[in-house]
Copies of this chain bind each other. A is one copy, B any other.
Amino acid sequence: MLLQELFDPDSVMIIGASRDRVKVGNAVLRNIMDYKGRIVPINPSAEDVEGIRAYHSVLESPGAELVINCIPVKSTIEAIDEAGRKGAKAAIVVSAGFREIGSEGAKFEKELVATCSKYSIKLLGPNCLGMINTATPLNASFAASMPPKGKMAFISQSGAICTAILDWALMENVGFSKFLSLGNKAGIDEAELLLALEDDPETSVILIYTEGIADGSDFTKVAAEVTKKKPVILVKSGVTAAGARAISSHTGALAGSDAAYQAAFEKAGIIRAETLDQLFDLASVFSTQTPPMGDRTVIITNAGGPGILTADACEKFGLPLADISADLVEKLKEKLPPMASLHNPIDLIGDATAERYGTALDILLDDPSSSIALVLLTPQAMTEVERTAELIIEAKKKHAEKPIAAVFMGGEMVSKARKMLHEGGVPSFPYPEPAVYSLKKLVEYAEWVKRPVPVLEPKPSVDSKGAKAIVAQATSQGKKTVLSTEAKTIANLYGISTPPGGMATTPEEAGGIAKKIGFPVVLSVYSPTILHKTDVGGVKVGLSTEQEVQNGFREIWYNVTRLMPNAEIYGIEVYKMVPQGKEIIVGATHDPQFGKIVMFGLGGVYANFLKDVSFGLAPLTSAEALGMIQKTKAYVLLRGVRGEKASDVGSLVDVLVRASYLVTDIPEILDLDINPLFVYEQGKGCTAVDVKMTLA
């Protein structure tokens, strides 16, 4: 497998293997004791450490495939260089004092990376807890404990969170295949690990805690592939922090700092958890249950209250309850007491024995009407808690294709059964909501896996050369924007239609343009200093003769120069008046990690306060563009409300795809705002009424 030199090396060197039990180098050595390959401790003054023969320096030692560096930052570079000369292929640098402490540390980190690349050494860290592979077994970390074996791989940017999770896992008997602390991520990052774990037979679920992905595009590409084979569940912290960059565009303001991550995770089929708690709830379901064929769910309970709470959660999270057919009701009636409620939730009532649970589960799981089962239990007088757990595990074995989750409410009386369920491969929860939420995500994952990989569509035909020339000219003049008319021309070159028109600097010129494009026309002042043109009398609509256009030009000029004497007026735009359509906003902005992201949303006065927008990574396929439109509430409006005709959604898809190529092809365009974009009824297309572009 990939990264075998890290996960399963034939020998391991510990640089800084101390005899002092409070030192990290000693902790690492003691952790590594179970490892079957050669262990090479390096200690300048000891002959042996913890009973293992030690070497005074790296160069005196026989070398090793994997090196764990525990010595201070200042000696690290040299030690790694020596290890490289002795044939090291991977290095875990647990030492701190690198980029995280500022510019001096960053310099060391750069040198460390250079040294590693000189010897093609794979680098984990620096400033990390290390790595654990429970299969080898190899605990190459200074963690206080080794987790049990399991099917989950955990990748964490935070060492402290690693420590906390390891401690929790031990108490809860939660197993892991691999445990990785990434630290500063100077070498190995999330994407590389995803690739390595993609075909790891020991790992069936990959869990990630990250505070930020440096190379978003690479990560997205890799993840989209890996998630088709095994689920990737991720917590991204720092989600609500405001972006650092000053926000100059409408789209940028609506995007915030999390939009690109969210769009990337959706594109890549990553299951996003909101909290660490949820991450492990999801993991317990994903690591034991296979993605179901359908989403109809049956709830079995021995009490009404918990049944209602669970049905509430199903409705809240969108997990539909299975219809219990008359036939099925008859089958259940034969075996269950007359007081039992045979509508979903199936209430076996308070005196339900384990056998009653088992019988009901069998009948229900044998029936094709449901694909998922939720089994609830409260410990009442007659309840056989553990035996019920056993029968649930048996039912699970018989119906491996149907996910089951158990909700055993209570404390001491159900704790043994919960452990049994956990060991028997049935996730159990103390309350219904996390069970329902996790199963819903499993259904979504099943849909993701089944969804065909998007076929690469041919790029729409565009005149990118012409567009680039306009942008190049503007940037060469040091401009931060292009003129409104230029922006429209660029949009036209990319096949996005705008009202015909042009820029005039005299009344006569304005009249000439109007005559050429036909009446009625709109006049609109163009000035980089004027944000709200109507407020300063900078717009005139519905002008129907050349004379009106000329008068309108003068009137605007008078208004603007009087109200804003210092405004720099580039000219007055003349364009053909187009019929009012539904107001849409299409935009694009750039993200330092993920590149260009495209926005779709409801325009007009509603855009700012409803924030009914969605995002996708550029370039977009048609399917992705349609998905973005469908995700907004505006989609309901576009399909037509109250007998109104549907809008031309196809033309919006086309504009989104073309806009996504525009900002991809010409990276100098930092932000794009098409606002408003008027969309007309089905078959009548759409028109970009105003187009703005910000340049790098």
Contact = CB atoms under 8 A, between A and B. Distances in A.
A456 interface: no
Interface string A229-245: 00000010111110000
A168 B409 contact: yes
A362 to B, nearest CB: 23
Contact of A610 (B27, B235, B240, B610): B610
Given A168-B411, A315-B240, A163 B305 contact: no
B643 A237 contact: no
A101 interface: yes
Given A378-B163, A413-B144, A309 B237 contact: yes
Interface size class of A (residues with CB under 8 A): 35 or more
A27 to B, nearest CB: 8
A559 to B, nearest CB: 15
A135 to B, nearest CB: 22
In the A-B complex, the 8 residue pairs with the smallest Cβ-Cβ separation, listed nearest first, are A158-B305, A160-B303, A171-B411, A164-B409, A167-B410, A240-B315, A168-B411, A160-B378
A282 to B, nearest CB: 14
Nearest to A209: B305
Nearest to A431: B277
A411 B211 CA distance: 23
A161 interface: yes
A459 interface: no
Nearest to A279: B431
B381 A142 contact: yes
Contact of A380 (B163, B302, B313): B163
A571 interface: no
Contacts of A167: 379, 410-414
A543 B106 CA distance: 77
A641 interface: yes
Contacts of A412: 167, 170-171
A381 B308 CA distance: 46
B609 A641 contact: yes
A606 interface: yes
A642 interface: yes
Interface string A678-692: 000000000000000
Given A608-B641, A636-B609, A211 B305 contact: yes
A433 interface: yes
Nearest to A407: B164
A246 interface: no
Contact of A238 (B101, B209, B277, B308): B308
A235 B309 CA distance: 10
A342 B302 CA distance: 53
Contacts of A168: 409-411, 430
Nearest to A642: B532
A641 B308 contact: no
Given A535-B643, A643-B532, A304 B410 contact: no
Interface in A121-156: 142, 144, 156
Interface in A285-324: 302-306, 308-309, 311-313, 315-316
Interface in A637-651: 637, 641-644
A605 B641 contact: yes
Contacts of A378: 160-161, 163-164
A326 interface: no
A168 B415 CA distance: 10
A479 interface: no
A455 interface: no
Contacts of A637: 605-606, 609
B171 A304 contact: no
A626 interface: no
A529 interface: no
Contact of A161 (B159, B305, B312): B305
Contacts of A241: 311-312, 315
A312 B275 CA distance: 10
Contacts of A644: 605
Interface in A602-643: 605-606, 608-610, 633, 636-637, 641-643
Interface in A520-578: 532, 535
A276 interface: yes
9 contacts: A160-B303, A161-B378, A163-B410, A167-B379, A171-B411, A275-B433, A532-B642, A605-B641, A609-B637
A350 interface: yes
A304 B156 CA distance: 12
A370 interface: no
A313 B235 CA distance: 13
A341 B160 CA distance: 16
A101 B349 CA distance: 12
Nearest to A173: B411
Contacts of A304: 158, 160, 211
A690 to B, nearest CB: 14
Interface string A17-32: 0000010100100000
Q: Which of A237, A532, A535: most chain B CB closer than 10 A?
A: A237
Nearest to A142: B381
Given A167-B414, A411-B171, A431 B609 contact: no
Nearest to A157: B305
A581 to B, nearest CB: 14
A172 interface: yes
B415 A171 contact: yes
A169 interface: yes
Contacts of A453: none
Contacts of A239: 312
